[in-house]
């Protein structure tokens, strides 16, 4: 239904902001997460506390519906030897992409999400893909999302809408969006409870949250925080 949505929710800054965005717009919102032997699997432990926090921040307790977890096991790790799924030093590849790029990851996520949305009767699928302030992943591009929407609609004979609220904004604007959606409480939840660091560091606390501070994900998050805070 048009007033119901499914959010790809990893436990990170972007997906938490997208979840708040969806809760502010739809009458019923469900979430889906993916376990794929990711190096930063600690993000999955962040999901439940974040969902609990968001229930009260915007009066969204009645709006937030069930959570779904898909265990992809060794699927992605088996088909791509990357720094996201293995103990490999993060570096640029000959293709000009960071080796944290997991080939096919977002395409698989959207396919599984659409299958769940099909079964649950949900029309809108919300993701945190972004082309403005990102690591260059081709499966985050707007053209890719448009192509996936067409493929999913044809393949499942449904009228899914892939909504990407962060597609054309940078990390500073993402922080600002969270502030508009839920004020200081949502910003604090993102700082304290979400996880972004590719290395899974939950020990080092910075003003923008936890992380190693040097991986690409931490650098993007920190730079956005500094620009937003001015």
Strand ordering across the sheet containing 4-8: 64-71, 28-35, 4-8, 124-126, 161-163
Predicted local confidence at residue 94, as pLDDT = 59
* Overall size of the chain counted in residues: 230
Query: Taking phi first (over 0 means left), then psi (-120 to 50 degrees means alpha), and beta for anything else, what does residue 35 get?
Result: beta
Predicted local confidence at residue 78, as pLDDT = 62
Domain range summary for the chain, segments of one domain joined by +: 4-229
Strands (DSSP E) along the chain, which ranges? Answer: 4-8, 28-35, 64-71, 124-126, 161-163, 205-206, 209-210
The pTM assigned to this predicted structure is: 0.89
Going by C-beta distance under 8 Å and a sequence separation of 6 or more, which residues neighbour residue 215?
90, 100, 197, 198, 199
The pLDDT tens digits for 67-121 are 999 998 766 666 556 545 555 555 555 555 555 556 678 898 999 999 999 999 9
Predicted local confidence at residue 83, as pLDDT = 45
- Structure token pair of residue 114: 């659409």
Which residues of the chain fall short of a pLDDT of 70? 1-2, 39-40, 74-103, 133-136
Topology annotation, domain 4-229: Rossmann fold (3.40.50)
């Amino acid at each position: 239904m048009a007033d119901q949505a499914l959010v790809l929710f990893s436990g990170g800054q972007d997906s938490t902001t997208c979840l708040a965005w969806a809760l502010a717009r739809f009458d019923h919102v469900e979430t889906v997460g993916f376990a794929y032997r990711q190096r930063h699997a600690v993000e999955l432990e962040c999901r439940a506390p974040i969902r609990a926090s968001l229930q009260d921040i915007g009066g969204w307790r009645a709006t937030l519906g069930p959570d779904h977890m898909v265990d992809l096991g060794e699927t992605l790790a088996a088909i791509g030897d990357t720094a996201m799924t293995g103990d490999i030093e993060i570096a640029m590849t000959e293709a000009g992409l960071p080796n944290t790029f997991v080939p096919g990851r977002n395409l698989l996520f959207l396919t599984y999400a659409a299958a769940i949305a099909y079964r649950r009767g949900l029309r809108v699928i919300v993701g945190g893909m972004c082309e403005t302030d990102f690591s260059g992943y081709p499966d985050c591009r707007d053209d890719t999302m448009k192509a996936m929407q067409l493929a999913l609609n044809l393949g499942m004979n449904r009228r899914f809408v892939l909504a990407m609220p962060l597609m054309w904004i940078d990390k500073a604007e993402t922080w600002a969006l969270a502030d508009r959606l839920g004020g200081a409480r949502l910003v604090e939840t993102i700082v304290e409870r979400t996880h972004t660091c590719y290395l899974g560091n939950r020990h080092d606390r910075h003003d923008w949250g936890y992380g190693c501070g040097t991986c690409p994900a931490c650098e993007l998050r920190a730079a956005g925080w500094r620009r937003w805070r001015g």
